[in-house]
Structure 1
């Protein structure tokens, strides 16, 4: 399948640590299309790290930057990795609900996600949080991921299996 002829972006959503960036790069490579990471675009445009952005303009300010980047990126045939909390901002959530993109929810058991992110200082919503706190945050987001995604893929397995599952769903 030649994705670029469809002109339909692939958007990866899911909780922190679910593998959106890793799988996004592999997926873009497999389809020979660009890959864009919304968080990286924000850091590049604002010239601050994500924790610094949260410190300076708060989570709401960060979510506004996220919405602007999402809006700008949805018009291109590419793979887009979103931030785990993009569905928290109503404008971003509604934009994702209305877009013609293929939205894929990457997920893993909460214990796996916690293990992947527990020592990552670049995630303000996870930094110094207990398993219980992160599980509550995860559970508060699940229904929103489910509402916008056309498929849910378990990422607690080898990348090659995940990639094949996604490719089959897209075909």
Structure 2
């Protein structure tokens, strides 16, 4: 009888452990965010964050940080997130981007910076982002097109500059590299 009880107890412990054992990527998801798809999609929108959380899964491919209070994106904002393909930081009051903010993100395909307070982009901000296909800068305060940031952006397909204060639609010399550009919105 004691043997049956010990066996039953061992099964209960094993079953409870299996039921509650931690999933590795969930252990690394910030409390302010929601991680989905094994940590590949992370949503931190509407969380009143003033910086990108440092405890996001390294597996993150899509990061939604819309409607927070970032103010600026620094070179340290995306450390440990080298798998990022999509970054959305719309409506964050961003006024400043450090030149190397996207430097370590060689897989980056889409950047959404709409609805912020940007007036310019640093010269080499997308220097290593050769896979960039979509750049959304709508609703900022640009008065000219971000010519120097377009240097060597051969794969850029979409550039949304709508709802800015652009006074001239003249494409500067760096735009000669945007040979795949199919959509330029200047509305």
What TM-score results when the alignment is normalised by the length of structure 1?
Answer: 0.30
Higher helix share: 1
Max radius of gyration: which structure? 2
Between 1 and 2, higher relative CO (CA 8 Å, sep ≥ 6) is seen in 1
